[in-house]
Structure 1
Amino acid sequence: MGQRVAGTCYVKVDAAQLTITGGCEARLMDVKRESVVAGFYKEEQLTPYVKVTAVYTPDLPIKKLVEGTDMTVVCEFSNGKVYVLSGAYLVDEPVASGDDGTIDLQFDGLKGVWQ
């Protein structure tokens, strides 16, 4: 029997659902490990994030997105896994594209949890 592992994702920012294209991206780990020598490693803290491409719909809450500094972003992957990013805020330089009506968004946050 086949099992779906990819497809439509759902993203909510402070309970406002975004219409997105493609998928979602979120870190699996909150640290980056690098071997020093075999059996010994160092760790570096990583910032949790969620990346999506949102459709620039008339009801897209632009003001909330650009002014928010303590948002909760919930990303539900099509395989049933859910990633919750708390203390989220937009980073980089989101730009609205008139060619395809989308905006690439990256939310960084304080804590990301897989449920």
Structure 2
Amino acid sequence: MGQKVAGTCYIKVDGVQLVITGGVEVPLSKTKRETIVPGYFKEEDRAPFTKVDAVKTPGFPFEKIAEGTNMTVTSEFKDGSSYVLSGAYAVDEINLTADDGKVPLNFEGVSGDWQ
């Protein structure tokens, strides 16, 4: 029996649904490990994040995204799981590419939880 593991994703920023293209990237772990020598490693906390390419549609909430410092970004995946980024804010530059209407967005936040 086949099982759905990928497909259409939905992104909401403070309850406003964005039109997106391509995939959504979110972390599966809260830490990053690096081997010092075989058998010994260091572990660092990772900032929770959500990366997505949105489409600038009429009414696109660019001011909310650019100015928000305590947003909730919800990513709903086709397999029924969700990733909720709380205390979110946009990092990096927020630019529009006019040839395809895309707005690459990179959010980081205080907490990221799988539901």
TM over 0.5: yes
Aligned length: 115
User: Within 5 Å, which residues of 2 pair with 1:65-76?
Assistant: 65-76=65-76
Provide the C-alpha distance between the structure 2 equivalents of 1:10 and 1:17, rounded to a whole number of angstroms.
7
State the 4+ residue runs in structure 1 displaced beyond 4 angstroms.
Answer: none
Question: Following superposition of structure 1 onto structure 2, how do residues 3-82 of structure 1 map, counting pairs within 5 Å?
Answer: 3-82=3-82
Letter in 1 for 2:104: D
Unaligned runs of 5+ in 2: none
Cα shift readout 1:7-63 (whole Å, capped 9, x = no counterpart): 110000100011101121001111101223343321111111000100100111111
User: Bigger CA drift: 64-73 or 37-46?
Assistant: 37-46
Indicate if the aligned counterparts of 2:26 and 2:49 stay in contact, CA closer than 8 A.
yes
**TM-score in terms of structure 2 length:** 0.94
Question: Partner of 2:87 in structure 1?
Answer: 87
Deviation at 1:85, TM superposition (A): 0.3
Q: How far apart, in 2, do the equivalents of 1:59 and 1:16 lie?
A: 10
> What's the TM-score, normalizing by structure 1?
0.94
Sequence identity of aligned pairs in percent? Answer: 57
**Deviation by residue 1:68-89 (Cα, 9 ceiling, x = unmatched):** 0000000011111110000100
Q: What letter matches 2:18 in structure 1? A: L
Report how far residue 99 of structure 1 moved: 0.4
Unaligned runs of 5+ in 1: none
CA RMSD of aligned residues (A): 1.0
